[in-house]
Amino acid sequence: MLNWSVKQLAERSGLSCAVIRRLEEYNDTLPASDDLLQTLLATFAGAGIEFTFPLVGKQGVRPQ
């Protein structure tokens, strides 16, 4: 949606490229701390991206 590279996400979030690449490898629950996930959520929210977690159905992502 944002068409950011790993480097761009790292710069905007303050995380390292290695951490982002490691997270990209997972297809299941991320092995990440709550602080790291909150950092990513805040970074994406600041860029206009919203994550949805409905009670029924699948999680999703959309522009705000």
Q: State the pLDDT at residue 55.
A: 92
DSSP secondary structure string, 38-62? HHHHHHHHHTTEEEE--SSS--EEE
Report if pTM > 0.85: no
Give yes or no for residue 47 having a pLDDT over 90. Answer: yes
User: Which of 2, 51, 40 is closest to 64 using CA atoms?
Assistant: 51
Helix, strand, coil % over all residues of the chain, rounded to 5 = 45, 10, 40
Residue 63 phi/psi, 5-degree rounding, is: -70, 145
Mean pLDDT of the region 3-29: 93
